Amino acid sequence: MNTALLLLEIQNDYFPNGRVPLEKSQEASAKAKDILTAYRKNKWPIIHVQHISTQPNAAYLLPCTKGAEFHESVQPVKGEMIIKKHYPNSFKDTALLNHLIKNKINQLIVCGMMTHLTIDATVRAAYDLGFSLTVVQDACAAKQLEFNNTSINAQTVQSAFLAALQPVYADVLTADEILQKAGLRTSPTSTPIFS
């Protein structure tokens, strides 16, 4: 299988002092950076997806703001694909699908922000399009939500959405498990499967 790393919305507004800080966004971005570093070292395909809010009532990830810029931990470098999007689903009205088809990519390793929104919408869409997916659970972040006047803490939101994706839509693994399976962390039983 030809695998790409898909980094979704790792943008400044989701970090402390941003407009919508997510719980454990810094820890998640550090794990995403570990995988990004390994992919760069091996010259494997990397895709950064940047959300730019265009709705009239949008409050974050606004055009031409620091909050919409990629976080310093995962700044794209020359040669890495950048896809701009305006909806939670990274395939809607973007060049992502064409890029994946053109490069014969059929497996995606997914990291990023808004587990309950962008990760969920993108993974489900990718599955419906025939891709094989792995979500890196500790390289994703969520926020506290409210439903029927009940507050749902961020960890519960994160766990519930990841549980709903596994096993049908995606494998859900830790960053260390991903790196081990790719043969990038030493383990007596590790066999490279992602390349």
d(CA 138, CA 31): 7
Q: How far is CA 121 from CA 22, 28, 88, 195, in A?
A: 18, 19, 6, 25
pLDDT of amino acid 189: 40
Residue type, 55: Q
| 45 inside domain | yes
For residue 170, being part of any structural domain is answered with: yes
Identify the three-state secondary structure at position 149. Answer: coil
79 lies in some domain: yes
Does residue 188 lie in a domain region? Answer: no
- Give a yes or no: residue 36 inside a domain: yes
The predicted pLDDT at position 195 comes to 43
- Any domain includes 189: no
Phi-psi region of 48 (alpha: psi -120 to 50; beta: other; left: phi over 0): beta
Q: What is the pTM of this model?
A: 0.92
d(CA 142, CA 45): 26
Would 190 be classed as within a structural domain?
A: no
Range of the domain at 139: 3-181
CATH of the domain at 25: 3.40.50.850
* Locus of tokens 């709903």: 164
Token readout for 172 is 């859900």
β-strand 171-173 against 150-152: which pairing, if any? unpaired
Structural domain count of the chain:
1
- In a domain, residue 176? The reply is yes
Phi, psi for residue 46 in degrees, rounded to 5? -130, 135
Nearest-angstrom CA–CA distance, 142 and 149:
19
DSSP 53-93: --STT--SS-TTSGGGSBPGGG---TT-EEEEESSSSTTTT
pLDDT in tens, the chain (195 residues): 699 999 999 999 999 999 999 999 999 999 999 999 999 999 999 999 999 999 989 999 999 999 999 999 999 999 999 999 999 999 999 999 999 999 999 999 999 999 999 999 999 999 999 999 999 999 999 999 999 999 999 999 999 999 999 999 999 999 999 999 877 764 444 334 444
How far is CA 148 from its chain centroid? Answer: 28
